[in-house]
């Protein structure tokens, strides 16, 4: 027989089975010829390799060659890798079938190299020795029968190519010397025994097992690294998507963002959310009974669906259940444990977003009630005085009328009494009229402050022209002293906005300077600059008036706050603030002036069609 390449190692990792849901324990199966199986089994037992099993294939020396079907039938079912050791019998194997685990084939130059050193074996062969293993000797009668001989006729066959018999005794067969003697007598050839033991086999197998374990460890590390990278990418994506949960302000928007998050990460066929308001523990709305009835609790925040293709989670914060979500029909069921772990790691953030939205809603409602209370109190305070004065004047006129009527009835009324009555009535009705007019102005101011109720129609406008129109409309008040307005605004600056609102804003700012900033003065200067910076309109309003204290700057936009209790209502700057922040979505700040006076910085988004 021709010599074959030594140590032909074919590693077919492409056939490695995919592990679903958990990692299966690795197990190596060592295949060897039946003539050497006892030695391999003895070494595995001596080394106590719990992750190694051994199997045998028939000792036919390639007549005919071994097939994959024979190996498949002899292989234990729990093997994850196969090592096949042999010579001529393996020459026609070819590629393993797809159902086979990864395979390593080690072809040896001489079969006996498995149990003895190459030098010893080659020297014995060169001397014309016929080498025998203990297992072959045990069944020597069967082997010669397969060749067509009997113990009486086999001698001439062996004497034709061998001069002696050599037994490589590994010590695994107790009756090997008897078998050797009987075979020697049948062939008529002398024999002698060489005690080789199992040391050589243990070295070869030990090297093969260590190489397999190293390869398995490297493969497992690569798989773990690949899995970790995938999980890291998933978590990075989840973290990016979780950041978007901080943007919504309403609970419905948060729920929609959570649903989008779970759809993008897990691609389920079915996604269902059930919100739970703050109620006693275990109280869940009666809608969506399927999700409601799942055994979720603070102690058990998740359950698998009945078919195992999905899961349900509980969202809870500070011991309160906020909602439940069902993720069913996962697109990649083999990753369900990883998906569940990722989902569980996100429930805290999702619950926090839900609770924040609810807390924001409660806060807004509380602020609305507080603002309503302040507004009602302010309205009552502002209207109470003119109403009281009007009531007092009316009662005075009523008493005077009653007294005059009694004098007229008693015929004691004089011309002087009638004139006094006319004078008092004229004065008191004048008080009633002026106070009713004040109430009318208050109501009109309240209506202007409620900017949300006004129609919102935007149109193209040139801000410079609007500023000049406001200054012109205040001409009579401006002419009362030496008051000047400096305007720095491009005549061609055109924006899409609300012309009426800008007129109210500028009128209140200028009027505020005239009434409060320049109080007690006959001259002053107002500066208004406006420019567009990208998508923002920037306005700087300053005057060189009496200035504002730190306390006044903090409260200047509060409703009913005024420094002139006799002539001011405290609603002008509040109206300016509402128009800029609520109607236009901008900002206004009362800043500390460089020298003296007042300084307002306004930024408003430029609206586009």
Length of the chain: 609
Let me know whether 560 and 420 are in one domain: no
Q: How far apart are CA 555 and CA 562, in angstroms?
A: 9
- For residue 419, is it within any domain? yes
What CATH number is associated with residue 585? Answer: 3.30.565.10
3-state helix, strand, coil in the chain (%, to 5): 50, 20, 30
Burial (0-12, 13-18, 19+ Cβ within 10 Å), 262: buried
Let me know whether 501 and 552 are in one domain: yes
- For residue 466, is it within any domain? yes
- For residue 2, is it within any domain? no
Last residue of a domain, one of 330, 346, 365: 365
Which residues in the chain show pLDDT less than 50? 1-22, 279-287, 452-453, 609
What is the structure's pLDDT at 55?
93
- For residue 275, is it within any domain? yes
Give the sign of the dihedral formed by CA 138, CA 139, CA 143, CA 148.
positive
Let me know whether 381 and 248 are in one domain: no
Q: How far apart are CA 70 and CA 58, in angstroms?
A: 9
- For residue 233, is it within any domain? no
Last residue of a domain, one of 316, 341, 365: 365
Let me know whether 471 and 443 are in one domain: no
Let me know whether 382 and 493 are in one domain: no
Let me know whether 266 and 307 are in one domain: yes
Domain encompassing residue 416: 369-451
Q: Is 78 helix (H, G, I), strand (E, B) or coil?
A: coil
Contact 467, 530 (CB under 8 A): yes
Let me know whether 359 and 374 are in one domain: no
What CATH number is associated with residue 293? Answer: 3.30.450.40
- Mind spelling out the 3-state secondary structure of 394-438? HHHHHHHHHHHHHHHHCCCCCHHHHHHHHHHHHHHHHHHHHHHHH
Let me know whether 461 and 546 are in one domain: yes
The token pair that represents 258 in the structure block: 């959570």
Q: How far apart are CA 604 and CA 609, in angstroms?
A: 16
Let me know whether 569 and 542 are in one domain: yes
Q: Which residues pair with 132 in a beta bridge?
A: 167
Dihedral pair phi/psi, residue 62, rounded to 5°? 85, 10
Let me know whether 428 and 543 are in one domain: no
Let me know whether 465 and 590 are in one domain: yes
- For residue 178, is it within any domain? yes
- For residue 52, is it within any domain? no
Let me know whether 375 and 446 are in one domain: yes
Q: Quote the mean pLDDT of the chain.
A: 82
| Number of domains the chain contains | 4
Rg for the chain, CA atoms, rounded: 51
What is the structure's pLDDT at 368?
65
């Amino acid at each position: 027989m021709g010599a074959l390449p030594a140590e032909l190692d074919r590693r077919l990792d492409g056939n490695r089975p995919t592990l679903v849901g958990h990692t299966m324990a690795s197990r190596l199966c060592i295949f060897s010829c039946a003539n050497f199986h006892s030695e391999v089994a003895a070494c595995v037992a001596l080394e106590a390799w719990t992750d190694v099993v051994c199997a045998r294939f028939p000792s036919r020396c390639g007549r005919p060659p071994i097939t994959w079907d024979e190996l498949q039938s002899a292989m234990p079912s729990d093997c994850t890798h196969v090592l096949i050791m042999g010579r001529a019998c393996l020459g026609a194997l070819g590629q393993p079938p797809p159902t086979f685990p990864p395979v390593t084939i080690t072809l040896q130059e001489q079969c006996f190299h498995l149990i003895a050193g190459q030098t010893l074996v080659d020297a014995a062969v060169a001397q014309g020795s016929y080498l025998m293993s203990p297992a072959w000797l045990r069944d020597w009668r069967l082997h010669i029968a397969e060749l067509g001989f009997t113990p009486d006729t086999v001698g001439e066959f062996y004497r034709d190519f061998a001069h002696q018999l050599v037994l490589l005794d590994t010590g695994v067969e107790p009756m090997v010397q008897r078998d050797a003697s009987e075979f020697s007598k049948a062939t008529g050839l002398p024999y002698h025994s060489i005690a080789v033991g199992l040391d050589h086999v243990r070295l070869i197998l030990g090297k093969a097992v260590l190489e397999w374990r190293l390869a398995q460890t490297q493969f497992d590390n690569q798989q773990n690294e690949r899995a970790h990278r995938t999980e890291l990418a998933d978590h990075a994506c989840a973290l990016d998507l979780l950041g978007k949960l901080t943007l919504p302000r309403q609970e419905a928007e948060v729920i929609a963002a959570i649903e989008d998050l779970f759809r993008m990460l897990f691609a389920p066929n079915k996604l269902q959310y059930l919100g739970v308001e703050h109620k006693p523990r275990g109280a869940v709305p009666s809608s969506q009974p399927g999700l409601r009835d799942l055994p979720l609790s603070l102690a058990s925040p998740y359950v698998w669906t009945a078919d195992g293709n999905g899961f349900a989670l509980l969202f809870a914060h500070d011991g309160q259940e906020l909602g439940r979500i069902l993720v069913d029909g996962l697109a990649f069921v083999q990753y369900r444990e990883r998906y569940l772990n990722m989902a569980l790691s996100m429930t805290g953030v999702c619950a926090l977003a839900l609770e924040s939205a609810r807390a924001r809603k409660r806060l807004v409602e509380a602020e609305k009630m507080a603002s309503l209370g302040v507004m009602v109190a302010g309205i009552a305070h502002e209207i109470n005085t003119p109403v009281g004065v009007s009531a007092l004047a009316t009662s005075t006129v009523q008493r005077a009328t009653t007294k005059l009527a009694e004098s007229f009835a008693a015929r004691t009324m004089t011309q002087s009494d009638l004139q006094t009555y006319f004078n008092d009535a004229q004065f008191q009705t004048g008080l009633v009229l002026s106070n009713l007019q004040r109430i009318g102005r208050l109501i009109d101011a309240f209506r202007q402050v409620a900017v949300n109720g006004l129609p919102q129609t935007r149109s193209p406008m040139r801000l410079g022209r609007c500023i000049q129109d406001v200054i012109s409309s205040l001409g009579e008040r401006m002419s009362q002293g030496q008051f000047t307005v400096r305007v720095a605004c491009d005549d061609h600056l055109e924006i899409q906005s609300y012309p009426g609102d800008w007129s109210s804003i500028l009128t209140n700012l200028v009027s505020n300077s005239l009434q409060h900033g320049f109080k007690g003065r006959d001259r002053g200067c107002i500066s208004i600059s406006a420019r567009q910076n990208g998508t923002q309109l920037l306005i700087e309003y300053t005057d060189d008036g009496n200035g504002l204290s730190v306390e006044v700057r903090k409260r200047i936009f509060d409703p009913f706050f005024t420094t002139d209790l006799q002539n001011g209502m405290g609603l002008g700057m509040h109206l300016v603030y509402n128009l800029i922040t609520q109607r236009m979505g901008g900002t206004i700040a009362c800043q500390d002036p460089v020298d003296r006076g007042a300084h307002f910085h306004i930024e408003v988004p430029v609206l586009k069609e």
